[in-house]
Chain A
Amino acid sequence: EAGVTQFPSHSVIEKGQTVTLRCDPISGHDNLYWYRRVMGKEIKFLLHFVKESKQDESGMPNNRFLAERTGGTYSTLKVQPAELEDSGVYFCASSQDQIKRDHNEQFFGPGTRLTVL
């Protein structure tokens, strides 16, 4: 079974530019999460999709970040315009249906390392 994949693995952009990160969850996983780790600190939650709907976007830092999950499959996270403090590693994770709240673990992708110069 293929795991969670993320593209690109690395991205280096200049301040003010736009970057789009992509995440492909494990097939059949309704839940998709975005997290971010900045400068070696803790991994922080950004948002959670259930299928194509945003279940929780309380962690999104500001309106420069836009996440979409059209069709409930892959997701994109766009940063526009990028700022220096956006540098970090962006992780995507997916998990199975949680209607029964059975606390399935989340499966993580390898992350995208974003560097804003």
Chain B
Amino acid sequence: AQSVAQPEDQVNVAEGNPLTVKCTYSVSGNPYLFWYVQYPNRGLQFLLKYITGDNLVKGSYGFEAEFNKSQTSFHLKKPSALVSDSALYFCAVRDMYSWGKLQFGAGTQVVVTP
């Protein structure tokens, strides 16, 4: 069975500082990994995905994520956080045997203070 863990309920960071949101996963076979962001009163927006290839994936709004197979992690990063990055972030995984069903983590609330 596939599962995703986001160990932090909330991450607080000052504007301009680096932002990291952690995600670890468990899946059979090769994982397909995704990050989504939810702004207040909005749906989930796709940020980036890892399917295969380069372990460092670049996505929207200056975000990137690094796939680490040995640590089964897919942490989301941004070098310099903005107040507008304050939102709820979800990590999701799909295993290679599933058509499209995503397994999500519980979400991490990011708060960026001016």
A residues lining the B interface (CB < 8 Å) = 3-4, 31, 33, 35, 40-45, 48, 50, 55-56, 58-59, 91, 93, 95, 98, 101, 103, 105-111
Contact = CB atoms under 8 A, between A and B. Distances in A.
Given A48-B99, A98-B100, A103-B49, A108 B44 contact: yes
B101 A45 contact: yes
B43 A3 contact: yes
Interface string B77-114: 00000000000001010100011111111110000000
Contacts of B107: 40, 42-43
B103 A45 contact: yes
Contacts, number: 66
B104 A103 contact: no
Q: How large is the interface on B (under 10, 10 to 19, 20 to 34, 35 or more residues)?
A: 20 to 34
A5 B34 CA distance: 22
Contacts of B99: 31, 48, 50, 55-56, 98, 101
Nearest to A105: B46
A67 to B, nearest CB: 14
B101 A107 contact: no
Interface of B: 4, 32, 34, 36, 41-46, 49, 51, 90, 92, 94, 98-107
Query: Which of B43, B46, B106 gathers the greatest number of chain A CB atoms within 10 Å?
Result: B43
A1 B21 CA distance: 30
8 contacts: A40-B106, A40-B107, A43-B44, A45-B103, A48-B101, A91-B44, A106-B100, A106-B102
A103 B32 contact: yes
Given A42-B106, A105-B46, A105-B49, A110 B41 contact: yes
